[in-house]
Structure 1
Amino acid sequence: MLFAVAIAGVGTAGLGTAGATPASAAVPTGSVRAPIALGSAGTFAILAQTGVTDVYASAVNGNVGASPITGAAIHLSCDEVQTGIIYTVDAAGPACAVTDPAYLNTVVGDMGIAYQDAVSRDQADAIDLGAGEIGGLTLNPGLYQWNTGVTISSDVTLTGGPNDVFIFQVAGNISEAGAKQVTLAGGVQAKNVFWQTAGSVSIGTAAHFEGVVLSKSLIAVKTGATVNGRLLSQTAVTLQMNAVTQPAL
């Protein structure tokens, strides 16, 4: 069952000229899905396997960890992690870090389990919606699948209630343009929004992003961008003067 969502700049009879009456793109009315179980990874704002780099100063509210890479690969300073703990596998990390390789091994394992859970979800409500371009859309809860990458070139809204779940399965990269917004409406909570990608993630300069990212590759947050969610990467996370706040469980 589908309903219509307007995309600015597209005419009612197809592709129109700028300023024409917006047309409609069919998106699912929504479905009920169980959230992805993050396990212990759900206590981290930033988690990576090959490192966390930063252009000073960022503000992180939540735990930060990297494993199995040495703690020296975490370049955040202690004052940038405003709430939460930096966890490392050895004493080579920031001075304030807690060394706990066994715990991090469990956390990274849970991240991998969560990623596979997201990948395995089936019976998608929409496949290849917008040919990968979701900018300008208002999306309802459910499972969305793309065999390509996903681009957010203009603001996108996720609407629903506080218990509604969004799962985005992306075979390629996720790219959000600079100064664009992922917005939650109707009580949707960032903890219930999951972006799983087999590629990399780029959050543009001064953009805002919502939700839990489960990435097989690099998560790059560009200058001044903000994130309300979790950045969980099987490679690295790079920050540039960002604000990253983990949502409540």
Structure 2
Amino acid sequence: MNRFLYILWFVLLIFTSCVREDLPSDNVQQDGETIKISGAYSSPQTKTTLSGLVTSWESSDKTGVYCAQAKNPGGVVGVKNAEFTAVTQTVSSFFDGTIYWGAGVHYFYSYYPYSAANSIKEATEIPISLPATQSQAGVTYSHIGDIDFLVSTPKSFNPLTEGAATPVDLVYNHVFSMIEFKVLIPQGTTKFNKIEFTTSTAADLSFSSGIIDLTQAKPAGDALYTITGATGSNSSTLNITGDCIITNDPATTAGAMMMVNPGNHIGGSFTVNAYTDLGVTTVIRDGIFIKRNNKYNLTIIIPFIDLKTAKEFGILSGVGISSSGLSIINDMDVGISPGLRSDITGFPPATVVNGAIYAPDDSPGTATMLTQAKSDLTDAYLIAENAVSPVPIIVAGDIGGSTLTPGIYKSFSSLMVQTGSLTLDAQGNSNAFWVFQVTDALTTIGGAGGDIILLNGAKAENIFWQVGSSATIGDNTSFKGNILALTSITLNTGALIEGRLLARNGAIVLSNANIINKPL
């Protein structure tokens, strides 16, 4: 399971009419032969307006109740879809409605939300659907109450033995599941506009025209309710209207809630498109079994600098790629554009593991792909070069031996890491980023220092070296980050890179025993 998918529980919502220690007894009253169904809070994960992880009933929430043995007002036996309404807006609410006791044992079935159209339906044929397109107003999650569906556990009750004045206890169970999406940005704020969620499996995330039988036994544990006749979809969309502001702080960034149909997606994948005012960010996560009655969290991090398709490459060059020894590129591709296949030399003995080598003369499709990757590289280079927030810190000469916290660092000439290693301290923030704006050349010197050390959660994936001319990584240097060079990049013998070598216009040269690993 992807690390960014975490399980929280939807605890069953229990309606109970029993007198509770936190409720005054005079709230439970009987009036002659009237059947009273009232609800008392018994769990922190109920319905229908969400605040944090606590949801509460609204005073307008309505449930439909079926009981073939009970009497309607007027004395007709057989209650279909009697309307019961929450009387308070709280996590603990009583429900009011009017039906009367009949003879013998009574069997109760109920659902939420109430629909008057179900008054001509039997308890065995209640329509149910989960729309593929949902909406959320700003940061509020009240839309959940419109599309969530609850079914009560079938309840038998004998008024002769249990007492006609005793309220009927109904336990309501969630049919669907919920995903909360949170988006983080490295700095500042922006608006969260839409989520698209798609599965590669045959399991449906949404559906229309389904039928649910309220008389079926409650599924054991998180097992699914039986729904028949549904027309499903493998994708769902949540449109967000109004201001849903996201930040770089998981505690304050706004979220978006989507209801999904539970099902098995193991072996497949989820594709998530998060739309903000900054554009679209796409992430792919391993499929899991979405359990009924559960809530899941999925966090999406928008990179400060988005390499887009260039992210697939460990080496991307303009005019040439050469290797003079046994170098290895792991888990990334090698590409050149506009240079040709003949401009790539030394492979072998250099090898690409879990990746491929691409050149524009391989095929028209490959040429198009490489042109896009180079375009994405150029865009990322220019964003890095022109970044001004947070305010760049001026550095010069040799920064070896320094410890730098996250931010933008600008050198108006060449920059070196020479007299010691450079430590990048994330201070516990795994989303921390560094951008080094180097006007001229970048050079590291192996032997006496020159390594890049990551501390307290710093990630190579979030480090960008924008180099205005060429970069040279010294002998046996352990280097971290993505090098975006205007001209060329050279790795000396034994240099180890966790990152990417991306040269816009020049060549990339590998020496002996270089290793390039995909940044994490």
TM-score (norm 1): 0.80
**Candidates 363, 368, 372, aligned match of 1:106:** 372
Give, as a single letter, the amino acid of the residue that structure 1 aligns with 2:508: V
Is this contact kept in 2: 1:209–1:227, CA < 8 A? yes
- Quick one: higher RCO (CA 8 Å, sep 6+), 1 or 2? 1
Quote the residue 1:213 is aligned against. Answer: 483
Quote the residue 2:323 is aligned against. Answer: 54
Q: CA deviation at 1:98?
A: 11
What value does the CA root-mean-square deviation take over the aligned residues? 2.0
**Candidates 147, 162, 179, aligned match of 2:412:** 147
**Candidates 394, 402, 410, aligned match of 1:137:** 402
Q: Deviations over 1:163-220 (max 9, x none)?
A: 1010110101000001331111111111100000101101001111100011001100
Equivalence map 1:37-48=2 (5 Å): 37-48=306-317
Cα distance in 1 for partners of 2:354, 2:511 equals 18
Percent identical pairs in the alignment equals: 32
Q: CA deviation at 1:224?
A: 0.9
Cα distance in 2 for partners of 1:196, 1:47 equals 15
Quote the residue 1:230 is aligned against. Answer: 500
Q: CA deviation at 1:148?
A: 1.0
Cα distance in 2 for partners of 1:109, 1:123 equals 23
Give, as a single letter, the amino acid of the residue that structure 2 aligns with 1:239: L
Q: CA deviation at 1:64?
A: 0.5
State the secondary structure of the residue aligned to 1:100. helix
Is this contact kept in 2: 1:87–1:98, CA < 8 A? no
Cα distance in 2 for partners of 1:151, 1:124 equals 23
**Candidates 418, 442, 445, aligned match of 1:174:** 442
Cα distance in 1 for partners of 2:392, 2:323 equals 36
Cα distance in 2 for partners of 1:123, 1:32 equals 8
Cα distance in 1 for partners of 2:351, 2:365 equals 18
| Higher helix content, 1 or 2 | 1
State the secondary structure of the residue aligned to 2:373. helix
Pair 1:126–1:108, CA change in 2 (3 A): closer
**Candidates 394, 401, 426, aligned match of 1:128:** 394
Structure 1 unpaired stretches of 5+: 1-30, 92-96
Give, as a single letter, the amino acid of the residue that structure 1 aligns with 2:380: A
Q: CA deviation at 1:123?
A: 4.4
State the secondary structure of the residue aligned to 2:377. helix
Cα distance in 2 for partners of 1:98, 1:73 equals 18
State the secondary structure of the residue aligned to 1:169. strand
Q: CA deviation at 1:32?
A: 4.4
**Candidates 344, 347, 369, aligned match of 1:74:** 344
State the secondary structure of the residue aligned to 1:162. coil
TM-score (norm 2): 0.39
Quote the residue 1:6 is aligned against. Answer: none
Pair 1:82–1:98, CA change in 2 (3 A): farther
Is this contact kept in 2: 1:141–1:164, CA < 8 A? yes
Give, as a single letter, the amino acid of the residue that structure 2 aligns with 1:102: T
Pair 1:238–1:98, CA change in 2 (3 A): farther
Quote the residue 1:203 is aligned against. Answer: 473
Quote the residue 1:15 is aligned against. Answer: none
Q: Deviations over 1:51-109 (max 9, x none)?
A: 11101210111110000111111114256111211111114xxxxx9971110011011
Q: CA deviation at 1:133?
A: 1.5
Cα distance in 2 for partners of 1:47, 1:214 equals 10
Is this contact kept in 2: 1:229–1:246, CA < 8 A? yes
Cα distance in 1 for partners of 2:346, 2:394 equals 37
**Candidates 193, 197, 200, aligned match of 2:463:** 193
Cα distance in 2 for partners of 1:230, 1:123 equals 24
